[in-house]
Structure 1
């Protein structure tokens, strides 16, 4: 089985951070979004990964090669973003007839990965939501098999949203349906959508079983990213460098502090993730994500998302600033 991870999106809802950093490499709870996904699938036994890259794709390549040298990896460039269906079609020659597990590059979920990977059926991940109109929606029969999937329906027949996890056994069937979309120019909201290809497969007799995820962490915009960071820190307990000694500093767990940080005269936490080699002095930081090689001096930060190589000085409350930024409130 091969894993396909589409990470070509521009991440417009997380700007300014995604001007300089792919969304999949945004840090959360001490790891990147991408590493959560790859680690789950690798631990379930998948060793071959196809990354569909586009905007800032070289950074994805560099990150994967540096952090996962043991994996077999392929990188496919989606130069024109024409939808998830178009992205998956680009992997046809690499996939061949192998089964695939598709995990969208901004999807962190809790579920029994091994059970799904080893299932005898194709499977789609679902989660009950209050308003399914902004998601792909699955109609599930009493037998647990999916009867229909629709992308962002105006009048949903179900409140079961597709979470972006797809285990597909009949890949030849998948690529036939993708070809059908292109041949008939079937688009949803102007794009060739994977959901439409899956519905085509169902209509032609493919059987998909639904599996419910325990938790679905939204990493698509600042507010939900910070909420997901807090939840994951609570779940995994955070981490700090083993032999750290932060002078005159109070740590209120859970927090995650990467190696090489210089912290003094500060209060850190709860729910704070700090990247490597960051300096924080005479500051209070809570409910925030701070990038690597960043400097904070005499600031009070709450519910903030600060990029890498940034510098913030003076008093502040809530910020959302990207990489290579300098702010002086003095």
Structure 2
């Protein structure tokens, strides 16, 4: 059994952050999303992982090199965004005749992969599903007994509320299926079309339904939502503080995760705040926010909420002109309010 993680997407809806860092390296719980995908696979004994990236995403290779010795990583390239099924063609030689777990590199799931693997036994594939309210926004599966009888990508009139949430286990039959599909209306080779071809040819596809949280971290809002539920799952109402971090005259309302070498002074932090290493927050109030590495926040009188601060950002001197303030600030940016002539 092998693992495949797809990371080649551009992440345009995650700008400005994805302009400097591949979206799969953006952090949840102070670790890249890709870290969580790799660890999910390690938990079930997968030691060979193929990662599909864009040729320009060298940062992913640099990051994953830290796993040397723990797992064997091979890279395949998808230069054009032609869909999940097209990305899978790039890994065919890596997978060979093995079965494999497929994850999307910007997806977070709390469900252990063991349930998906167990559901796969005796079938040609299995898909992780979840009940949703807005079914027309997802790929949808219809089920009967222990099998999926139909899958459809974002149907106008869904026949089920069971969404396909981006985690699969498949055998090599999927590569034959991909050879028989054509691009969809949006110009992509859809994984749902390939799986539907398998179903129509009599291949058995099973499923596992999760009731645990999951998120496609594909937008800024979903990133903030994922930060909230992952902190809750990981810490409950607790606070976790890294090494060499200084706390002075602070109120910390968990869940809060603070990295190493940080300074928090005269501040109210939390709930639902993640702060990466080397950050400094003074004379401010922050809740439901993400601070990337080396964030500097000082003298902000309004409550900061649902905000994301990129790496090496500086925000200072914001007066109390409104009860709440909301920031989405890309890497290496600075916002300051200068009130005295000699400060210009």
State the TM-score bracket (shorter-chain normalisation). over 0.9
**Aligned pair partner of 1:162 in 161, 164, 172:** 164
2:275 & 2:286 partners in 1: Cα distance? 10
**Aligned pair partner of 1:193 in 185, 190, 193:** 190
SS in 2 for 1:247: strand
Contact 2:244 2:260 in 1 (8 A): no
When residues 294 and 244 of structure 1 are mapped into structure 2, their CA distance, relative to the original with a 3 A threshold, is closer
Q: Which residue of 2 aligns with 1:11?
A: 11
Q: Which residue of 1 aligns with 2:53?
A: 53
Please tell me the root mean square deviation across aligned C-alpha atoms, in Å: 1.7
Shift of 1:65: 1.0
Contact 1:111 1:212 in 2 (8 A): no
Shift of 1:101: 0.5
Matches within 5 A, 1:42-191: 42-54=42-54, 56-67=56-67, 69-118=69-118, 119-120=120-121, 121=123, 122-141=125-144, 143-169=145-171, 171=172, 173-181=173-181, 185-191=182-188
Contact 1:267 1:285 in 2 (8 A): yes
Shift of 1:188: 4.1
Q: Which residue of 2 aligns with 1:322?
A: 330
Contact 2:295 2:311 in 1 (8 A): yes
Using the size of structure 2 for normalisation, the TM-score is: 0.90
**Aligned pair partner of 1:212 in 206, 209, 213:** 209
When residues 114 and 152 of structure 1 are mapped into structure 2, their CA distance, relative to the original with a 3 A threshold, is same
Contact 2:17 2:331 in 1 (8 A): yes
1:235 & 1:149 partners in 2: Cα distance? 31
Contact 1:9 1:55 in 2 (8 A): no
Contact 2:116 2:168 in 1 (8 A): no
Q: Which residue of 2 aligns with 1:276?
A: 277
Shift of 1:231: 1.3
Matches within 5 A, 1:32-47: 32-47=32-47
**Based on CA coordinates, which of the two structures has the bigger radius of gyration?**
2
| Offset from partner CA, 1:153-185 (integer Å, 9 cap, x none) | 12212111100011013x1x211111122xxx3
1:203 & 1:68 partners in 2: Cα distance? 41
Shift of 1:243: 5.8
Q: Which residue of 1 aligns with 2:307?
A: 304
Contact 1:22 1:56 in 2 (8 A): no
1:318 & 1:68 partners in 2: Cα distance? 40
Contact 1:297 1:313 in 2 (8 A): yes
Shift of 1:56: 4.8
Q: Which has the higher contact order (CA 8 A, sep 6+)?
A: 1
Shift of 1:50: 0.8
| Offset from partner CA, 1:209-234 (integer Å, 9 cap, x none) | 11112222242222222122111111
Contact 1:274 1:290 in 2 (8 A): yes
Q: Which residue of 2 aligns with 1:248?
A: 249
Q: Which residue of 1 aligns with 2:341?
A: none
Contact 2:243 2:261 in 1 (8 A): no
Is the deviation greater in 256-265 or in 117-126? Answer: 117-126
Shift of 1:292: 0.2
Contact 2:135 2:158 in 1 (8 A): yes
